[in-house]
Amino acid sequence: MSDTTARAIPDRLESRWTTWLKSWEMLLVGVVVFVFAVNAYASPYFLNAWNLSDATFNFTEKAMIAMAMALLIIAGEIDLSVAAIIALASTLMGLALQYGAGTPELVMIGLGVGLLCGAFNGLLVTGLGLPSIVVTIGTMSLFRGIAYIILGDKAFTGYPADFAFFGQGYVWWVVSFELVLFLFIALIFGVLLHATYFGRMVYAIGNNATGALFSGIRVARVKFILFLLTGLMSGVAAVCLTSRLGSTRPSIAFAWELEVVTMVVLGGVSILGGSGSIPGVVLAALIMGLVTFGFGLANVPGIVMSIFIGMLLIGVIAAPIVWRRLRGESVG
């Protein structure tokens, strides 16, 4: 919300190394090391391969969505309906199960529902030119509402045994399928954002959508694709989460949208659009996973963890600003 900016022009450019050392990602690496060390010191059970593997489940599903959400937020939009998409996708998978769908059909339905929901969001935002924060607050109620209409206060259970692989399976020793899938997705999104023409368009749109339009970028189409991707990733997360829990309730993944947005913002993506990186978001996901897991080992209730996640979010964003203030530099 900075309305006026004033930046000092440096008399010489910083070397690549200094820029790199001062980057947000390095700060996050520092936080990761710190959290890891504190955890290892606080609990004797922390440094155990299987425990650490378990810890990854705390963030993999949310982080998959965060990858796509990062691109969407960099482009200056937001999707608050991601958790509701999980609920709807999971519910429709459960419904299909009642009609005898097998594992391949279930996966197709999960991904398909995600894509359709994403397309619906994208159409409303780009087709009608509506603000995405309001549209997705609406679709968030709508999608989860449909899940409630279908399920009521019941639950779908009895997913097939081979379906459990997506959320409970291990690829090699302690390395879970979900972790491998997440790393694969992170790699794809990292390349997409940082090494392709599409990624450059995303940054351009986030910095100045009108300018991007006049430079020949099809802003609406790129944004629509980003909503599709976010929907698709929510579908992937729905498949993994449903498989991991082995059941569907309409309250599944409740309030995840806030955690996903927190991950993205903590990862250094500006909520105002135009800047941020995938490695940053991956590190932020790792931090949130480690913090919640460490607290879990220390028997700290989930809701108390959320205090620290909230403080981490505000603190990490505020710290550099306060630091610059104290050194008497002007703040942009």
- Positions in the binding site for another protein (CB under 8 A): 1-4, 124, 128-131, 133-135, 137-146, 148-149, 152-153, 214, 254-255, 258, 261-262, 265, 271-272, 301, 303-307, 309-311, 313-314, 317-318, 321-322, 331
Cβ atoms of 121 and 231 within 8 Å: the answer is yes
Helix locations, the chain, DSSP H: 16-21, 24-42, 49-56, 60-74, 82-98, 103-122, 128, 132-151, 165-168, 177-195, 197-207, 209-214, 219-245, 256-266, 278-297, 302-326
Nearest residue (CB) to another protein, 171 versus 304:
304
Q: 175 pairs with which residues across the strands?
A: 172
Rounded Cα–Cα distance for residues 142 and 153 (Å): 17
Nearest residue (CB) to another protein, 3 versus 11:
3
Rounded Cα–Cα distance for residues 82 and 264 (Å): 13
State the nearest-atom distance from the C-beta of 110 to another protein, in Å: 20
For residue 171, CA distances in Å to 53, 179, 284, 315 come to: 12, 9, 24, 37
State the nearest-atom distance from the C-beta of 179 to another protein, in Å: 25
Nearest residue (CB) to another protein, 92 versus 107:
92
* Sign of the CA dihedral running 256, 80, 87, 116: negative
The residues, ordered by sequence, that sit 6+ positions from 237 with a Cβ below 8 Å of its Cβ are: 61, 62, 64, 65, 82, 86, 253
Nearest residue (CB) to another protein, 187 versus 311:
311
State the nearest-atom distance from the C-beta of 301 to another protein, in Å: 7
The residue count for the chain: 332
State the nearest-atom distance from the C-beta of 259 to another protein, in Å: 9
Nearest residue (CB) to another protein, 30 versus 320:
320
Nearest residue (CB) to another protein, 185 versus 263:
263
Cβ atoms of 181 and 236 within 8 Å: the answer is yes
State the nearest-atom distance from the C-beta of 307 to another protein, in Å: 3
Q: How far is CA 274 from the centre of its chain?
A: 17
Nearest residue (CB) to another protein, 45 versus 214:
214
Cβ atoms of 267 and 284 within 8 Å: the answer is yes
State the nearest-atom distance from the C-beta of 256 to another protein, in Å: 12
What is the token pair recorded at 254?
Answer: 């409740």
Nearest residue (CB) to another protein, 2 versus 98:
2
